[in-house]
Structure 1
């Protein structure tokens, strides 16, 4: 087999623009953040209804796909064998989509909502505000977000394995028009999605650096600063490069297994050691309200149509999930061979969403109970130190707080490494020309060593993302990168709608009748 060659446009265009924007943010961070914020506000003002309606449509599409005859279709064909066991498949899906976000948003986001309950006539820091906070957590972190991931990844899996389309986000175009998409169109779609992912990776790595360095600062005599954050960034970058270079069945599989078990252990301990009844009671009441409010919240009907809060939270979150979804779809679709569409929806939507509901119930409920009992305790931490430090404040109310803080540092490290591992794999595949051929056959899985070009590309992307995250966190702040990662939600919105239409069409015709 010939050596891999690089898709020059898909490699150089996103890389050059990304580096240019990072340098710009370094030279003039205030101006950079101002422009990024204005662009983000404009997108949310103009397309807010588009984001929410599309997200709701993705939920309905997943339900339809599971119940329709399409649900019986096996990804890869009748004789396809699974790449992964069900447990490993679920663990990889869970950890590569959760990343590091839930470790601090589960405790930080409800504190925001507790004092600003969406413009509703609810008294701040009250039991009613606590329920509003929990329902908002479920809305932003469970079934709808995972539907945003499931629709494009399922569509890509069917196109790639069953219809033999190239390894590109142009796969649904090829399925719709019956022939490979024009090169310029395929390259443009892949470039936009890759640029959005680069900013997303940098933003989440920046949050990971702050979380881990803050934990080290707390546990040791080391002071959080440029040197410590640089060492943390280097350690994370080295770990996810080595993991990704070792392949799916070594690095990603092993790390995701360990990461999932640690998540479960922390979750169980927090539930037992914390105010168990209060957590479960608040979670139970809130989940019932979530079910009642799902449709009006999804479609932003009254009274859930408060523009400032809605755009700052619900629309912003959906747009951010959409920014990540196209590239995540390539990885999630690629590892799904050998399972049916119904099994795919179970593992990629239902199970991770339920896990997220339980996680948010426990840690969001714990944070809210602490704040209701001691008003402004966690809110002061949030305002002074940022959302990444709230979790450590919550852990102080549990037994073995110092040991738990160390445990969280390890989980934070593994969480980002696991998620970045999969993203690095997709970026490498997307920027090379022959992955559509080499990654499909079973013998490709048995390659003894990764190809030199793959390793070189992964090293380049790992160093670029790591350096950008370190620069932004130590010199100019991470807010600009967060805004830019969210800007990718606009082009992603149209890409995902295209995937959704393709899936609906594939579900109404026989796959063998679709010619590529």
Structure 2
């Protein structure tokens, strides 16, 4: 039935993945619009349960994956390439980084670059610290870097590395389900694999929709500051609609013409804004603060990475750390595939070093310039940033820029940067969702990519109307859990494949169990694996 529907609509998809994902997204929108309060309350209750009972799991899982990736980079597997042994990177380091950053957390840094440090400075996360003190300033920067540094990029790097390895080294389809081929064998291309891909598609849709919602809030604040545009739900829906149309145009152009050029242009604009704040702001204070913040971050990282608020009865970690981890995890399928697409030819060591440390270094610079400047503005009493951030975090960067000359010009530049980050996030996600929902031997149809861009906009608008920022946080914290579990299975599958690769075995031998002699002890399992291996040669990348 689904295949007949696909033919009637003229689509090129895997019907089980495409229609299940599209149907689930449509069902959410249809139910959330008339029952917005019930939906918001339900996700609020679910988020509370996840935070109370599984918050520790989020913390431990992400930290464990960071240790795993660093271990791979320095191990004997670090020289294995994402591709043939003689392959080389498709993009230069600079182009690779700009595309990586624009599709990753550019929108998030624009939203939280001022808001988070100021918030923690005024309301320290650690109970024995005096608000707006020197220790509060140090802790604010440390926590902000913890949230946007190595841990965030670990969540992106894990699927990116695994997807790149299996796609370029073993010619498997560039889908999340392919990562489980060493475990599932040919069952990867049936309902089990489809279920994995549906989870990845829905996680991506809601993760990007959350970012679009935050971006709409911030854009509305910026346009209210520049032109007096009222900050209301209908205006934010209108902004989402406009940006979705821009993203649809970009996604129709494809990766090289659309996303690549927008990413390069936007990183230049972001650097101009950084340079402006550095030049007119407290330059010496920023330089000294960045050095100290880097030291504080790496000093606190070992204990902060395992901190679960065990001895405190507060809601702080649910509102901040768990929300960030779940949000980032929901982005992991799309950002991981996007990173894999632009990382062919790099060694595992190059990949891990580049994806973990280059963006973390840029995050340090970003928070050093914006965060430290904002803290000093608050300390000097120039602007009551803390109160404005408490009332509406989306206005933070525009209120902050009021402390400097050419505030209107800088705010207008910020609006442009937000719009482009908004666009690159949406069109990158649309390209990746299209990859997840079709076979490699099927063409990528423009109307399918546009459909997914529109779906992200619809979900973002629905979430905003259903409860604004609280709804965005609650939905994503709940939905990030299934993919967090998948991330751990990815690490297991990747390690098994790397061990076999290093020993000179191919993927078919890995599936049948011969890459690891100890597996052959189970005769029943071996019989099944032999059956799978007989059929494994039928596999093609477009399967």
| TM-score normalised to structure 1 length | 0.91
Kept in 2: contact 1:323–1:489 (CA 8 A)? yes
Q: 1:175 matched to which residue of 2? A: 182
Deviates more, 1:275-284 or 1:288-297: 275-284
Mapped partners of 1:198, 1:110: distance in 2: 28
Aligned equivalents of 2:181, 2:300: Cα separation in 1: 38
1:331-342 to 2 correspondences below 5 Å = 331-342=338-349
Q: Greater relative contact order (Cα 8 A, min sep 6): structure 1 or 2? A: 1
C-alpha contact 2:154 2:356 (8 A) present in aligned 1: yes
Answer yes or no: is the 8 Å Cα contact 2:37–2:466 preserved in 1. no
SS in 1 for 2:114: helix
Map 1:303-314 → 2, pairs under 5 A: 308-314=315-321
Q: Determine the structure 2 residue equivalent to 1:279.
A: 286
Relative to structure 2, which stretch is displaced further, 220-229 or 103-112? 220-229
Give, in whole Å, the separation in 2 of the partners of 1:478 and 1:371: 24
Contact 1:92 1:257 in 2 (8 A): yes
Q: Tell me the secondary structure at the aligned position of residue 100 of structure 1.
A: helix
Contact 1:141 1:356 in 2 (8 A): yes
Aligned residues of 1:59 and 1:147 also touching (Cα < 8 A): yes
Q: 1:76 aligns with which of 78, 83, 95?
A: 83
Deviation (angstroms), 1:109 = 1.2
Cα RMSD (Å) of the superposition?
2.3
Q: For the pair shown, which has the larger CA radius of gyration, 1 or 2?
A: 2
Alignment of 1:402-441 (within 5 A): 402-432=408-438, 434-435=439-440, 437=441
Query: In the TM superposition, what whole-angstrom CA distance separates every residue of 1:216-262 from its partner, at most 9, and x where no partner exists?
Result: 22222544445643442232112211212212111111011011111
Aligned partner of 1:192 in structure 2 is 199
1:470 aligns with 2:477: no
Decide which of 231, 238, 243 is 1:236's aligned counterpart. Answer: 243
Asked if 2 retains the 8 angstrom alpha-carbon contact of 1:168 and 1:186, the reply is no
Structure 1: distance between partners of 2:114 and 2:311: 23
**SS in structure 2 opposite 1:337?**
coil
Q: How does 1:493-508 map to 2 (within 5 A)?
A: 493-508=484-499
> What aligned pairs does 1:328-477 form with structure 2 within 5 A after superposition?
328-374=335-381, 377-384=384-391, 386-432=392-438, 434-435=439-440, 437=441, 451=443, 454-473=445-464, 476-477=467-468
Counterpart-to-counterpart distance in 1, 2:303 and 2:70 = 18
Assess, with a 3 A threshold, how the Cα gap between structure 1 residues 125 and 375 changes in structure 2: closer, same or farther. farther
Q: Which shows bigger deviation, 153-162 or 480-489?
A: 480-489
Residue 223 to residue 261, structure 1, CA distance change in 2 (3 Å): same
Q: Which moved more, 1:234-243 or 1:478-487?
A: 478-487
Label 1:463 to 1:301 Cα distance change in 2 as closer, same or farther (>3 A): closer
Which one of 205, 225, 230 corresponds to residue 212 of structure 2? Answer: 205
2:416 counterpart SS class: helix
Query: What CA deviation, in whole Å up to 9, does each residue of 1:5-43 have, x standing for no partner?
Result: 322222222222222223333223222211101111111
Q: Alignment partner for residue 149 of structure 2, among 117, 142, 145? A: 142
Matching of residue 101 in structure 1 with residue 93 in structure 2: no
- The verdict on how the C-alpha distance between 1:186 and 1:320 changes in structure 2, with shifts beyond 3 A counting, is same
> Where in structure 2 are there 5+ consecutive unaligned residues?
1-6, 509-543
Contact 1:58 1:151 in 2 (8 A): yes
Deviates more, 1:401-410 or 1:228-237: 228-237
What TM-score, normalized by structure 2, do the two folds share? Answer: 0.86
Q: Is 1:479 the counterpart of 2:470 in the alignment? A: yes
Q: Could you tell me whether the CA contact under 8 Å between 1:159 and 1:175 is conserved in 2?
A: no
User: Which region of structure 1 is more displaced relative to structure 2, 184-193 or 215-224?
Assistant: 215-224
Count matched residues.
499
Tell me: CA distance 1:119–1:151, structure 2 relative to 1, closer, same or farther (3 Å).
same
CA 1:315–1:305: 2 relative to 1, 3 Å:
farther
1:514 is aligned to 2:506: yes
